Structure 1
Amino acid sequence: MGRVLTAIGLMSGTSMDGIDIAVVRTDGDSIVDRGPSAGYAYDPQFRERLKQGLEDARSILKREERPGTLADIERDLTLRHALAVRMFLQENNILPDNVDVIGFHGQTVLHRPDQALTVQLGDGDLLARETGIDVVYDMRANDMAHGGQGAPLIPAYHAAMARGLSKVGEIATPVVFVNIGGISNLTYIGAGEEIVAYDSGPGNTLIDQWVEAHAGIPYDQGGMIASEGGVLRELADRYLSHPFFSAEKRRSLDRNDFAPPAAGDASLEDGARTLAHVTAAGIVRSARPPLPQARVLAAEALDLNGDSMEAEAWAYLAVRSRYGLPLTYPGTTGVSRPVSGGRVAAKHAQAESA
């Protein structure tokens, strides 16, 4: 394998609440040394622009198209990522010259796997110029070009963590990682390092949209609102009867595949509690065949960080991309064969003013 590189991962998920950053030292294979991490929230005005961007993206037919406000949003989003990187490096006393690569996810504004179309806003060349660090970006497209769903991509990192944890006796395979972001996904890692992964349903995105619309806040911190409500079974069943959960073919999800309830469907608290139930029930329902009785642990119980795991994954995947290692597999995205991916933007000396 290649030498160990220092990588920064940048993740802006479907919840559109901000930028997660993490450092990982890795060879893109078995060596994973996790470093510091942080989160930088988007300001409310920019979040509103991102929501408008989702509407503008509905008309996209080709990945390179940027209709409406999308070109301006892409530039401003990239500059916000560059500023977050500079702040993060300064706060952690890391020199840009000591970072080998940035893994840049960007902001997904459209994901239509049935049309082999996925669009993540993010200008890799601009980010490389602004940070003075090589950037790997656009890591989903090559998977789709080879028949994959373009998601989930984090399972390769889950597999690396499972190997590391099993070596020190913290866990034993088979093991399942449950990743609840805006969209939830599962990764199964068998005793022989078999890897199977898929999106399992809506994650936090419905709850976030619900409380923002009805309470004016971006998310339900600590589940405080949901804890005051009850589960409305009829509303929950409406979601859980969605064809996604019974379809023979696994498919990856777009933020718009599930819509939040109508205003009159529930009180603020009952709506939040019901949507939290839907997230958990969707995970169980998607586990086909059903999971046997298993020990359930929070990431932090294994000295992992649930808040930074996706950003860490993007750092890890960037190094795998640099070494031409697979990012996705037939068992994770339905791709025809294991494939690498990502585009490389080389650092440049001249930066643009933010």
Structure 2
Amino acid sequence: MSGTSLDGADAVAVRFERSTARALRMTRLGHAFLPMPDALRSELLSLALGRGADEIERMGTASVALANLYAEVVEKLLSENGIDRGTVAAIGVHGQTIRHRPEKGFTLQLNHPALVAERCGIDVVADFRSRDVAAGGEGAPLVPAFHAQAFAGDEPTAVLNIGGIANVTILPPAAHIAEGRAAVLGFDTGPGNMLLDAFMQTRFGQACDRDGALARTGHTIEALLERCLKAPYFALAAPKSTGRELFGIDWLEAQLEGFAECAPADIAATITRLTARSAAEALARYAPETKRFIVAGGGSLNPTLMAMLEEELKCRTAVECVADTRICGIDPMEVEGAAFAWLAQAFLAREPGNLPAVTRAAGPRILGALYPARCTP
């Protein structure tokens, strides 16, 4: 998995064993990470923003570079964890989203799954979003189905994944889901780390506000926050999804007009607060009585954001505490990688990977396409 934040590629090895007709037991076998080369990160960002000429040539070249990065992180995963590649059923490779336009009937992930299969000698399952979009869905978020497997418990639970974009999954009690008495909900709440990362990169040449250090020293600019929250996306009803097409650097710069004299720390604090406020307001709108709140993704490593999120949630909902996914035995940086492993196994089992209540698709669909490994002589 390489996410919207463009920090690198995560690979997670997971064993799935079917314990009942509906339930899977998941065992984590290992994790590996490789940082994304600066040149590839810059090129992917430029392509996502629609900047520069000769896009087709550049997209092809970037896809090859991505595939090589994915293959390298898979090899690292296998080597460091002593995993025999012959025991691996498939690699789930999502690719890098550079354009997400479900309202126009398409979503585009740069990827070269055939090259990953060729280099690794393992079957690859890829292209998870397009089938849902073809069925009239948003194609995102896709992780709620996995969240239901991994995090549903005895009480209603919300899982917030904070990557470049933040998405929430609202989980009824596991027994209610299994019995069909309640549906899982999920949608993108708005920007996650994307805007703060963009601000840090353009103003300071830094990849991110590490540990929320800058935002922690600032104060929320209420007028700026209110301007940002007037974006029409926040008022839309779920199901919905978004991306850099809306919440990119151009949008941020437009919001910052008139605030040029404000201290950078205050701007960073306000951008961080926007992520927390929009997530809290989303939960208040759809499941205000939820008490159990779990966070995954890179945003969970930002203590300033986590503190703001807890503050915002306690003002608006019944949430009692905010914790990351380690309380459920899964590292927050491994959740998305494990989710696409789960989607790959669902494809191999010919089981649906989407949730129509989440994506608005016409019905359950098998997601993905298979790229077989090399033939054995």
* Both proteins in one fold, TM over 0.5: yes
Q: Once the two structures are superposed, what CA deviation does each residue of 1:14-41 show, in whole Å capped at 9, x if it has no partner?
A: 1111101111111474211122213211
Moved more, 132-141 or 229-238: 229-238
Q: In the alignment, which residue of structure 1 is the partner of 2:307?
A: none
Check if 1:173 corresponds to 2:162: no
Q: In the alignment, which residue of structure 1 is the partner of 2:364?
A: 338
* C-alpha distance in 2 between matches for 1:58 and 1:190: 46
Check if 1:220 corresponds to 2:209: yes
Q: CA deviation at 1:91?
A: 1.6
Q: Which amino acid aligns with 1:226?
A: A
Higher relative contact order (CA 8 A, sep 6+): 1
Cα–Cα, structure 1 residues 311 and 57, in superposed 2: closer, same or farther, change >3 Å?
Answer: farther
Moved more, 111-120 or 42-51: 42-51
Aligned-pair identity (%): 30
Q: Which amino acid aligns with 2:278?
A: G
Q: In the alignment, which residue of structure 2 is the partner of 1:348?
A: 374
Secondary structure at 2:128's aligned position in 1?
Answer: coil
* C-alpha distance in 1 between matches for 2:68 and 2:264: 35
| Contact 1:57/1:109 (8 A) holds in 2 | no
Q: CA deviation at 1:266?
A: 4.0
Q: In the alignment, which residue of structure 1 is the partner of 2:319?
A: 294
The counterpart of 1:119, out of the listed 108, 111, 133, is 108
* C-alpha distance in 2 between matches for 1:53 and 1:269: 29
Q: CA deviation at 1:57?
A: 8.0
* C-alpha distance in 2 between matches for 1:195 and 1:178: 13
Q: In the alignment, which residue of structure 1 is the partner of 2:278?
A: 282
Structure 2 unmatched ranges of 5 or more? 178-182, 290-317
The counterpart of 2:354, out of the listed 311, 314, 328, is 328
Q: CA deviation at 1:44?
A: 1.5
Q: In the alignment, which residue of structure 1 is the partner of 2:43?
A: 49
Secondary structure at 2:86's aligned position in 1?
Answer: helix
Structure 1 unmatched ranges of 5 or more? 1-10, 60-64, 167-171
TM-score (norm: length of structure 2): 0.82
Q: In the alignment, which residue of structure 2 is the partner of 1:314?
A: 340
Structure with the higher helix share, 1 or 2: 2
Q: In the alignment, which residue of structure 2 is the partner of 1:6?
A: none
Q: Which runs of 4+ in 1 moved over 6 A?
A: none
Q: In the alignment, which residue of structure 2 is the partner of 1:185?
A: 167
* C-alpha distance in 1 between matches for 2:328 and 2:45: 36
The counterpart of 1:16, out of the listed 6, 16, 26, is 6
The counterpart of 2:79, out of the listed 78, 84, 90, is 90
Check if 1:149 corresponds to 2:138: yes
* C-alpha distance in 2 between matches for 1:81 and 1:249: 33
Secondary structure at 1:341's aligned position in 2?
Answer: coil
Q: In the alignment, which residue of structure 1 is the partner of 2:310?
A: none
The count of corresponding residues between Structure 1 and Structure 2 is 328
Secondary structure at 2:56's aligned position in 1?
Answer: coil
Q: Once the two structures are superposed, what CA deviation does each residue of 1:96-116 show, in whole Å capped at 9, x if it has no partner?
A: 112111000110000011112
* C-alpha distance in 2 between matches for 1:34 and 1:78: 24
Cα–Cα, structure 1 residues 229 and 111, in superposed 2: closer, same or farther, change >3 Å?
Answer: same
| Contact 2:63/2:110 (8 A) holds in 1 | yes
* C-alpha distance in 1 between matches for 2:113 and 2:7: 21
Cα–Cα, structure 1 residues 265 and 36, in superposed 2: closer, same or farther, change >3 Å?
Answer: farther
Q: CA deviation at 1:291?
A: 1.4
CA RMSD of aligned residues (A): 2.1
Moved more, 239-248 or 337-346: 239-248
